[in-house]
Amino acid sequence: MSLDIPYVRTPGPDGRDITGQVDFSQVPRFAGPGTFAGLPRLSDVGESAAGVIGIPFDSGVTYRPGARFGPEGIRSASHLIRPHHVELDSFPFAKHQVADVGNLAVTPFGIEHAIDAMVSGLTAARERAGKLVILGGDHTVAYPSIKTLFDKHGPISVLHFDAHIDTFGTYFGASTHHGTPFRRAAEEGLLDPEGCMHIGIRGSLYDHQDLSDDRALGFQTVHASEFLTTGLHGIADQMRARLGDRPVYVSVDIDVLDPAFAPGTGTPEPGGLSSRELLFLIRSLAPLNVVGADVVEVAPSYDHANVTSLAAAHVAYEFLSIWGL
């Protein structure tokens, strides 16, 4: 019996083998290497076309902390993922090389230092690993992620699933924290003001200005209550119309889900989406130009039976499946 981990290998388009998931006919799903979906590490394959990367940072949270353990929770919940995405008819791990890039190590003390390290780390990661799904960590990570995408794609359309608008202002002296990534990105000109959109917004705000500021920054908003009026299919249409063929960054704060579906998060708001709705909407992005994505704010110490991490793992899998079409 070999000690080496057996991976599924498929011939790639360029003649080189693609290393897929651990071979689950030889390795029970609970016995694998602990990577996302049993994929190889980036260091095992050298480079990849797409990857997942953890950013275990939660020093930007304003209420319940713990998202620093999000990457560990999401990876643990990803081991039931299989290679064929049925609805999209995608084999994302056989189309091109996909890898688990590991975690970015950033300081828990000092948000600005952490952001610098994220910018540097994400730049390096995108060079070697291709398109990335970031596993947060708190929502702060969206700002450096967009910043590094801007360098390549120019102004970015942000499609933002969240209970909160996250274009709030300075809080306790910090201009960047988990409530402000999109304000800072917008103010620095990184966003395409014709192509940004929030979906799932709900709960109370501070003032009228929160939403008017947000609109001024370029965001169109679909409130969670619109799922009861406009309906899911209408919202999907609005979403595709807004995004068109722009380069889109999709940022999924797991609290866009109702606390029933995502108890393990830091600022839960009742009245949210179901996981079925969220996965449907992401899946319907398949024809669009998604250049990057994150799924953030999973706080395992508040989770139960991994349900929040499960939802997040499947969100990540949707992105990989779109990229594997």
Which 293-322 positions form the footprint of a copy of itself (CB under 8 A)?
301-307, 310-311, 314, 317
CA-CA distances (angstroms) from residue 22 to 30, 76, 129, 270? Answer: 11, 14, 19, 38
Please tell me whether residue 98 binds a copy of itself under the rule CB under 8 A.
no
Q: Which two tokens stand for residue 98?
A: 């996909």
CA-CA distances (angstroms) from residue 218 to 81, 92, 131, 186, 190? Answer: 36, 33, 25, 8, 11
Please tell me whether residue 264 binds a copy of itself under the rule CB under 8 A.
yes
For a copy of itself, the closer CB: 247 or 268: 268
In angstroms, what is the minimal distance from the CB of 123 to a copy of itself?
Answer: 8
d(CA 299, CA 240): 30
Q: Which two tokens stand for residue 7?
A: 């991976």
Angle 275-283/232-243 helices, nearest 10 degrees? 40
Count of residues of this chain found to bind a copy of itself when the rule CB under 8 A is applied: 112
What residues from 22 to 51 belong to the interface with a copy of itself (CB under 8 A)?
25-34, 42-43
What residues from 189 to 248 belong to the interface with a copy of itself (CB under 8 A)?
202-208, 210-211, 223-225, 227-228, 232-233
Please tell me whether residue 105 binds a copy of itself under the rule CB under 8 A.
yes
Please tell me whether residue 12 binds a copy of itself under the rule CB under 8 A.
no
d(CA 267, CA 58): 13
Q: Is the separation of the CB atoms in 131 and 323 below 8 Å?
A: yes
Among 83, 144, 218, 292, the residue binding a copy of itself under the rule CB under 8 A is 83
Among 18, 20, 36, 59, the residue binding a copy of itself under the rule CB under 8 A is 59
d(CA 40, CA 280): 28
For a copy of itself, the closer CB: 118 or 155: 118
For a copy of itself, the closer CB: 131 or 314: 314
- From the list 112, 121, 221, the residue with the least C-alpha distance to 170 is 112
What residues from 106 to 165 belong to the interface with a copy of itself (CB under 8 A)?
106-111, 113, 117, 120-121, 124-125, 128-129
